[in-house]
């Protein structure tokens, strides 16, 4: 029993934190306030599992006694974690960041400077994200630390709160753009881009519900233009349409024009949405090769890759994802049905 529990009147709960309150503050044997794992994780903006991993692998965990089975962090433990996190954000490997945090917090004298100080510009792409987008900044910091669980959690929470399109536009896309800019100018952070791509793909697949009773009688065919490898926006589009109970067929990246034509003949879709991120893949000839069917078929050229393309008469250019979701819904259902 802690001192605070001993001082609390029996059966009284007024003004006291609930027993399961993750932010409940307790004192250790020296009278120093401590916090549980969940509260420390929220404070640092990382996943509780990451804290446990740092403790297990690198010894950067609670240094004092625990309460029951629950490990609790004192202010000195949290300060050590903040040192480790700062080193990670400067580009240090986790083991090096942990060694630095333990060394500094113990007061050891050393001639070594803070790890990766010379690599600090690696974090420039995080600071380049607009300061009015704190969610994007947090996602960038988690990605730079290669904290996959935190990246997944942040994206999932944003999708739940704001939907897939807003999450993509205001949180994910700014981070991906900053990483790409870093790669163009410095040739690094490729591993960050790959981690983000995989996390976003997994999040969008999880956010795509099954549509057993779709509102559209004929499906919407989703594909990248031939040669186009940037398929993430297409998965966002599919998730957004599915969340409006619209049936789709996903064909993914780099689909040959002949395969796209075969898919159109097999599925008789109500619409085809063809994504091009890069202008080299926004070829109007591909749109002309989409076969005509007995039932009316609408063609949408989606993404910035079509910006300079002269659209054939049967195709409509949709640049932004939010615009694409609304317009495709309106067309496949009819304007009256889609007005909600």
CATH of 120-206, one of 1.20.120.160, 3.40.50.300, 3.40.50.410, 1.10.1240.10: 1.10.1240.10
Q: Residue 259: its pLDDT value, please?
A: 95
Q: What does the pLDDT look like over 5-52, one tens digit per residue?
A: 343 333 333 333 333 344 455 655 555 678 888 888 888 777 777 888
Model pLDDT, residue 235: 97
Answer yes or no: pTM beyond 0.85.
no
pLDDT at site 215: 96
Give pLDDT, residue 108: 58
Q: What is the pLDDT of residues 124-169, one digit of tens each?
A: 666 667 666 768 888 888 888 888 888 999 999 999 999 999 999 9
**CATH hierarchy code of domain 220-338:** 3.40.50.280
Check residue 116 and give its pLDDT. Answer: 45
Identify the CATH number of the domain defined by range 22-115. Answer: 1.10.1660.10
- For the chain, the domains span 22-115, 120-206, 220-338
Per-residue model confidence (pLDDT) at position 5: 39
Other C-beta atoms lying within 10 Å of the C-beta of residue 2:
14
226 is written with which tokens?
Answer: 């031939």
Task: Look at residue 165 in the predicted model and tell me its pLDDT.
Answer: 95
Q: How far is CA 1 from the centre of its chain?
A: 41
What pLDDT was estimated at residue 57? 83
Q: Which stretches of the chain score pLDDT less than 50? A: 1-23, 67, 109-113, 116-121, 336-340
């Amino acid at each position: 029993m802690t001192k605070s529990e001993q001082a609390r009147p029996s059966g009284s709960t007024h003004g006291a934190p609930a027993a399961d309150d993750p932010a409940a503050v307790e004192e250790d044997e020296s009278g120093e306030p401590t916090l549980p794992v969940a509260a420390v994780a929220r404070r640092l903006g990382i996943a509780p599992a990451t804290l446990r991993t740092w403790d297990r692998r690198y010894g950067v965990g609670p240094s004092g006694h625990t309460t029951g089975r629950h490990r609790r962090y004192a202010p000195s433990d949290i300060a050590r974690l903040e040192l480790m996190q700062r080193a990670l954000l400067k580009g240090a490997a986790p083991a090096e960041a942990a060694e630095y945090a333990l060394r500094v917090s113990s007061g050891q004298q050393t001639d070594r400077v803070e790890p990766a100080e010379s690599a600090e510009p690696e974090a420039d792409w995080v600071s380049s994200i607009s300061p009015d987008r704190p969610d994007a900044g947090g996602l960038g910091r988690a990605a730079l630390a290669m904290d996959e669980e935190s990246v997944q959690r942040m994206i999932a929470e944003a999708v739940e709160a704001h939907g897939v399109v807003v999450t993509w536009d205001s949180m994910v896309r700014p981070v991906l753009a900053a990483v790409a800019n870093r790669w163009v100018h410095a040739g690094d952070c490729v591993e960050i881009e790959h981690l983000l791509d995989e996390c976003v793909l997994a999040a969008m697949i999880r956010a795509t519900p099954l549509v057993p009773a779709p509102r559209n009688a004929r499906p919407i065919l989703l594909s990248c233009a031939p040669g186009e490898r940037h398929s993430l926006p297409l998965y966002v589009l599919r998730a957004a349409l599915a969340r409006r109970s619209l049936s789709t067929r996903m064909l993914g990246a780099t689909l040959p024009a002949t395969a796209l034509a075969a898919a159109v003949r097999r599925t008789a879709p109500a619409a085809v949405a063809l994504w091009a991120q890069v202008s080299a893949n926004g070829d109007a000839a591909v749109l002309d090769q989409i076969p005509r069917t007995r039932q009316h078929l609408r063609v949408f050229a989606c993404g910035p890759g079509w910006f300079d393309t002269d659209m054939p008469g049967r195709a409509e250019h949709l640049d932004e994802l939010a615009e694409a979701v609304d317009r495709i819904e309106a067309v496949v259902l009819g304007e009256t049905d889609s007005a909600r």
